[in-house]
Structures are given as C-alpha cells and as structure tokens.
Chains A and B, each alone.
Chain A
Amino acid sequence: MTAPPAIAVERLWVTYTHEGRRIDAVRDVSFAVAPGETFGLVGESGSGKSTVLKAIAGLVAPTAGGVRLAGRGMTAKRDRAERRRLQYVFQDPYGSLHPRHTVDRALREPLEIHGFADRDAAILAALAGVGLESRHRFRYPHQLSGGQRQRVAIARALILSPGVLLLDEPTSSLDVSVQAEILNLLTRVRSERALTTIFVSHDLAVVAHLCERVAIMRLGEIVETLPVEALRASGAATPYGRELIAASRGYVRHDEPLASADVSER
C-alpha cells in the first residue's frame, strides 16, 4: 500500500467576484505531489499559479474542490498543529517580514506560538542553516538586503521543521547573482531535510533548475504536466507549452507569427 501523496489538489476552483464580475482564478485544477518531490508550477500573470499555492496553504478558501495533505482533507480553517506541517515563502522579501520586528523576533514568533523550548539555540541554528551570521540576529528588516531578507524568510519557514514547503516566486524580485545564492540555498536545504516542495514561478529556467516535475498553467488551468527532463529534451506537447519554452530562450530575430490580440478590459 503506497503512502498517499504529500499534497493532492482535487478539482480545485477558486473564484473571486470583483466589481460584480466573476473571475475564475483557478479552474478545475488537479495534481498530486509525492512525498519528497519538488514540483513546479509555471505560468504567466493571471495563470492562477499563486492562487493555487495559497489555496494549498489555506490562505484562500476554495470555491469548489479540495486540497489534501498526506491524505487528510484540509479547509482554509486550520489548527495550530496543521499549520506547523506546511510553511510558505513569499515573493516580496520586503513585505514578508514585519517591519518592526528584529530577525530574532521574527524567528522567535513561531517558536513561541508552538511552545518550543531552547529558543535561542533554535534561532542560532536556523540562522546558520541559511547562511546568516549572529551579527544579523538583532537587525531590523530595513537594515538587511533583499537577499538577506529572503534568507530570513526561509529560515522562518524552516524553523518549525515542516514537511511541506511552498515557495511563491521567492527569487523574482532579486538580482540574478542573489537569485543564484538563494537557489543554491534551497537546493542544499532540500537535500538536508525530507521536504516536499512546490515552487511557483514565471521563470521556466528557474523552475527547471529546481524541480523534478513541472505543470504549466494558463488562465487558471493546467495546460500540461511533464517531467523536467522531458521539458529539456523534447519540449512541451501543447502549443502554449512550446510557446512558453521558446519565449524563455530569449528573443529571436526572425519572422515568427505573433500571438493573438491582447486588448483586455480591466
């Protein structure tokens, strides 16, 4: 009897009403992530990839369908024990840390909420684990660089030793060189702990670097799912998938048909 998938998304729909209009951010999305796997969700703006992640995290309530973690159905209302098992890293390192809390305080908060002992030791270990030093410990976010803030966010996510880590474009606002450091950090962290990870990004190269399987999303739906090796070797099966891969390779100076008109009312 095989273990249930660490994460199972089943026919998920998330709909918003904005100014009286219904917007389907996520439409009938289903996929499963095995324990220990790193799964990527790629898409452009409006594809719904971040909304799927938020629904898995319980930050957004599904309109229909559901999310299962290790076989158990989850709603948006979760208790403390359930919250501990899944953690999240946000895109904007400037917004995900409380501006008036020092790094120490930011890392202490989850420990206090869950009643950990030995908090100082845990904080120092968490800092070391993401490549920060004790001199960063009592700084405020505005005294840290973007890369350092993101390291703190990752340390905060890992300090409770969750089994699942959700990453929402964690390197999109960072410079290329800083992104490389963070990606290397995530690779190392993943091999040190048995983490199940979902990585969301609009950058196909970044997702391919870190993930084993990738789902391509567009306008709320999954267009196709394929292993990374297949992506690299033969490319995608669907036209949109191929378009995305080609676009990621950069601009090509030769005649190619343009995509359809993109006038859109807000």
Chain B
Amino acid sequence: MSATTGSYGAWRAWLDDAAPKSQWQARLGEASRVVGKLAANPLAAIGLVIVAALALAALFAPWLAGGHSPTAQALGARLAAPSAEHWCGTDELGRDIYARIVFGARITLLIVALVAAIVAPIGLAVGMAAGYFGGLVDMALTRVIDIFLAFPRLILALAFAAALGPGIANAVIAISLTAWPPYARIARAETASIARSDFIAAAVLQGAPAARILVRHIAPLCVSSLIIRLTLDMAGIILTAAGLGFLGLGAQPPTPEWGAMVAAGRDMILDQWWVATIPGLAIFVVSLGFNLLGDGLRDAFDPRST
C-alpha cells in the first residue's frame, strides 16, 4: 500500500480501488493505469513534457513572449544576434524571433489539431465501414483509399494549395486530404479482426443494430491504435505544414509560422544562422516530442506490458 498520506494517498486509493462503486471510478482508474505506465517510461515522459510545453506556449503566448510582439518591426535592430534583449535574435524585419517562435506554437498546434480532428474521424468511419460490412462496401471503399494513398503527400498538398490559394485553412485541407488513408487502413484491419470476436457476436445476438456495434463496441477498440498513429504522424504533419510554409503556401506573412520563418532565413544561414536555425530546431524538438510520446503510448496501451 502507498505510504503517502493525505489527499494524494486518498485519491490514489480511490483510483486503485479493486471494487469501484461507479462507472466513472472504474474509467478513471483505468485511465490512471495507462498514465502511470506512460509516466514510468522516461522517454515517453520527455515526449509528454515537450508536447505539454507546446500546448502551454500556445495557450500563454502573450505572457511567455518576454514582452515582445511577434509582429512589431524594428528595422533599426534587424538581424541582431541573440542577446539578453532578444533571446533568439531578430529577423530581417527586426522582429523578435523568440516571440515569433512562441506565437508560432499556436499556428503549429492549430494546424496539427485541425488535421487530427479531420483525419481521425474520417479514417475511422471509412475504415470501420469497410472492415465490418465487407463485400462490395469494402471493395468500393478500399479503392477510394487506394486512390488517395497513391498521391505523394507534399505534391498533392501543393496542388491543392495552389488551386485553392495560400493560407492556413487551405493548408489544413490539403494536408488532411492526403493524411487520412492510413487511418482508414488501420481502422479497417482492426475492425475486421475485432468483428470476428465472440463479444461482437454476443452483441449481435442481443439484437444490437450495426451502427450501435460500430460506435459503441468497435470504435473504442480502434481508437488507441489511431491515437498512436496520430502522434507518430504529427512529425510528418508539422513538416508538411512547414514545407508548405517554406514554399509560401501556408500561413502568410506576418503570421509567425515556423516553416515560413525557416524559408525567410535561408539566404542568411551562414552569417545570421539564428534566423533559420532556431525555428528549425523548434520544428525538430516538437516532432521528436510527438514521436517519443507516440512510442510511449503504444507501450502503455499494449495490454501485455506490465
């Protein structure tokens, strides 16, 4: 038993109670076990910290930006090296780079969240339908998935951005269109194997209609695979967004999007390295954080790991 006393100990005991008194107590207990497994893994913990830092930076940007504005130009102080005044130096228009990184976290998080919110449900729905109903439905949907999978992500994103015009919203749509097929494939494979289980047969025997079985029995089991895939994909999504930004097709100036910042600094990379390198480092760290978190989640969700 835990040696901690006081409210933490009581809270812990409530979560670990072997005889939960309510559905919520049971659910929170399970969730705390998953979180516990995650936190026990040092690399996953690092990933969690990085992702949390991203979220915090996005939320509290005005307070964390060290007093500087991300868009205020100061042409007299352009291309200043990192110093006590400007922690990461200034860019070609004299804007504080640190403040732009912090505010840029909002853009990154926004793009990533929007893509995830579009891609996961669509992939889940299409994949589940294909995997559960089989037959003609499966054939038709698989062909659709294959068609979208055939396109290279960045090129299709470029084409859409070029057709629809630059901007964050169009960048999100362009990325989502190429990012959803793998989720559908995962959901399809998982659904096909889950659908053969006895507990699904039991639900059918109780008279549950297909929609209910898909939403309440099968979807919850697919979700963990999708979440893991999503976190591992985040790095790719961030890089694609950065790529679009680099090509001028994503966020437009003066929005501090990290990819666009790297592009802006590429001519000066030898003399004023900080203009391109610092945003590049930010992209790298955040991608790494999501990867580590994804690996940790995979281990935490795996019922076989202790």
Bound together, the chains give a CA A84 to CA B220 distance in angstroms of 25
Indicate if B201 sits at the interface (CB-CB under 8 A). yes
Contact indicator per residue, chain B 201-236, by CB within 8 Å of chain A (1) or not (0): 111111110001000110011000000000000000
The residues in B between 161 and 217 inclusive whose CB is less than 8 angstroms from any CB of A are 197-199, 201-208, 212, 216-217
A110-B18 in contact (CB<8A): no
Closest residue on chain B to residue A98 by CB atoms: B199
Chain A residue with the shortest CB-CB distance to B212: A113
The interface on chain A, measured as residues whose beta carbon lies within 8 A of the other chain's beta carbons, has a size of: 39
Q: Indicate whether B305 reaches chain A with its CB closer than 8 angstroms.
A: no
Contact in complex: B303, A100 (CB < 8 Å): no
- Which listed residue (A95, A100, A160) contacts B206, Cβ 8 A? A160
Of the listed stretches B23-31, B94-102, B128-136, B264-272, chain A binds B23-31
The majority secondary structure among interface residues of chain B is: helix
Chain B residues positioned under 8 Å from A136 (CB to CB): 19
Partner of A138, one of B20, B199, B202, B221: B20
Q: List 21 A-B contacts (CB under 8 A).
A: A57-B205, A58-B205, A80-B207, A81-B207, A83-B205, A84-B207, A87-B205, A87-B206, A90-B201, A99-B221, A102-B23, A105-B23, A109-B206, A109-B216, A113-B207, A114-B206, A135-B18, A138-B21, A138-B23, A139-B26, A142-B303
The A154-181 residues at the B interface (CB cut-off 8 A) are 156, 160
Q: Report the contact-size class of chain B (Cβ under 8 Å from the partner).
A: 20 to 34
| B5 contacts across to A, CB distance below 8 A | none
Most chain A CB inside 10 Å of its own CB: which residue of B25, B26, B212, B303: B26
Distance in angstroms between the alpha carbons of A7 and B199 in the assembled complex: 24
Which 10 A-B pairs give the minimum distances between C-beta atoms?
A135-B19, A83-B207, A80-B207, A138-B20, A138-B26, A96-B198, A90-B198, A95-B198, A110-B206, A98-B199
CB distance from A93 to the nearest CB of B (A): 9
Closest to A82 in B: B207
Q: Report which of B19, B22, B197, B199 forms a contact with A139, defined as CB distance below 8 A.
A: B19
**Known interface pairs A139-B26, A140-B26. Does A96 touch B202 (Cβ–Cβ under 8 Å)?**
yes
What distance in Å separates the Cβ of A143 from its nearest Cβ neighbour in chain B? 7
Interface residues, chain B, CB within 8 Å of chain A?
18-23, 25-26, 30, 197-199, 201-208, 212, 216-217, 220-221, 303
Distance (Å) between the CB of A58 and the closest chain B CB?
A: 8
Give Cα distance in the complex from A59 to B200, angstroms: 11
**B contact residues around A99 at 8 Å (CB):** 199, 221, 303
Q: How far is the CA of A199 from the CA of B155 in the complex (A)?
A: 61
A98 touches B205 (CB 8 A): no
Question: Please, which residues of chain B bring their CB within 8 A of the CB of A87?
Answer: 205-206
Alpha-carbon distance between A57 and B22 when the two chains are bound, in angstroms: 33
B217:A98 contact, CB within 8 angstroms: yes
Alpha-carbon separation in the docked complex, A83 to B204 (Å): 8
Cβ–Cβ < 8 Å partners of A81 in chain B: 207
Q: Does A88 contact B (CB under 8 A)?
A: yes
Q: Are B18 and A143 in contact (CB under 8 A)?
A: yes
Q: In the bound complex, do residue B199 and residue A95 qualify as a contact, i.e. CB atoms below 8 Å apart? A: yes
Bound-state Cα–Cα, A135 to B204, Å: 28
Closest to A83 in B: B207
Give the complex CA separation of A140 and B32 in angstroms. 14
Beyond contacts A97-B199, A114-B206, A114-B207: 19 other A-B pairs, Cβ-Cβ < 8 A, are A58-B205, A79-B207, A80-B207, A83-B207, A95-B198, A95-B199, A96-B198, A96-B199, A98-B217, A100-B221, A109-B208, A109-B216, A113-B208, A138-B19, A138-B25, A139-B19, A139-B20, A142-B303, A156-B202
